[in-house]
Amino acid sequence: MKKLIYLDNAATTKTAPEVVEAMLPYFTENYGNPSSVYEFASVSKKAVTDARETIASVLGAKTNEIYFTAGGSEADNWALKATYEAYKSKGNHIITTKIEHHAILHTCEYLEKQRGARVTYLDVDENGVVKLEELEKAITPETILISVMFANNEIGTIQPIKEIGMIAKEHDILFHTDAVQAFGQVPINVEEYHIDMLSSSGHKINGPKGIGFLYIRKGVKSRSFIHGGAQERKRRAGTENVPGIVGYGCAAKRAVETMEKRTAKEIEMRDYLIKRITTEVPYTRLNGDPVKRLPNNINISFQFIEGESLLIMLDMDGICASSGSACTSGSLDPSHVLLAIGLPHEIAHGSLRLTISEETTKEDADYVVERIKKIVEHLRSMSPLYEDFMKKSEK
């Protein structure tokens, strides 16, 4: 088998061995339905309660404020759709940003087209940071919800969440944050940051896929999202994914216990990679805030190449990464995030996202840098744009 270096941890992470071990009994031994009344089922019910308590403690939340979902996208949909329906008599205005995940952007689009919502999409600065003065200017008497992601999934920029939460609180507006990339990577306290709702997903922190949660502050009106049984305090029907919930609880506990040491290692490796790439490969730029960014995120644009070609050739060398360009998903348009921070199309198309983990070694990093250097040089040698640029530079 060829060498494999996995640098796409923002897409998904490897499920930790202790998480798998914690889940296994709930497939074959403790398989009771938590909603059943007999003693055998109480083991499953307790496991769900324990996981809920663990996750709540990580956030500084109350246990009954955590609602399990099938993932981050469902949690985002729930936060926006159900809250809009509950508060639309008060107003129909939602504020978000142009760099949100599509789970937010497409939900806002639905609410605009189908439910009569009015949505303001805020600009960001060249590092992808929300401008607080623009946020305050956008608030109207009809504003019922502000939704700003905690940290961007593409460029890693961490937003001034505490300040945004304070603005929302001062104006008596609900504040939701998509924390799918941030939960378990940076400390989050919902009370300190004045967060009313928060979305997260298990498979981003070495937990299983297919499980997430939505934190809903007590007192926030939110309609039932899935109708049926009385699960999740009658707000989200359906038999609980007990193994997934147990796994998420274990992953959250692991994430908070290892956070300081793990993220320090990631930051060291992140900065090492950024320095080598940006100094050893000409005509590159780092995307996102150089300091206020996720510990494991590297996003770099390479002029005169296509990101898709770079990805394919990296894959041939056993390196798993992703592109800032959406061309790999069938779209000819570059990333909406990179366009929002002001990159022209031709540079946005040549972007690469590397998201490392605590398992990424210096040997891995050096191998990746050397392969990037050779591939970029090769691709540029076939680029008429690069040839023209070099000729003009020589004059």
Long-range contacts for 287-291 (Cβ within 8 Å, ≥24 apart)? 287/128, 287/154, 287/155, 287/324, 287/338, 287/341, 287/343, 287/351, 288/127, 288/128, 288/152, 288/154, 288/155, 288/156, 288/157, 288/341, 289/127, 289/128, 289/129, 289/155, 289/156, 289/157, 289/158, 290/127
Give CA–CA dist 354/372, Å, rounded.
Answer: 12
* Element holding 143 (H helix, E strand): strand 143-147
In which region does residue 194 sit, left (phi positive, over 0), alpha (psi from -120 to 50) or beta (all else)?
Answer: left
Catalytic residue among 108, 250, 320, 327: 327
Give CA–CA dist 364/344, Å, rounded.
Answer: 31
Length of the chain: 395
User: 327 catalytic, yes or no?
Assistant: yes
Residue reference for tokens 């142009």: 98
Q: Which residues are catalytic?
A: 327
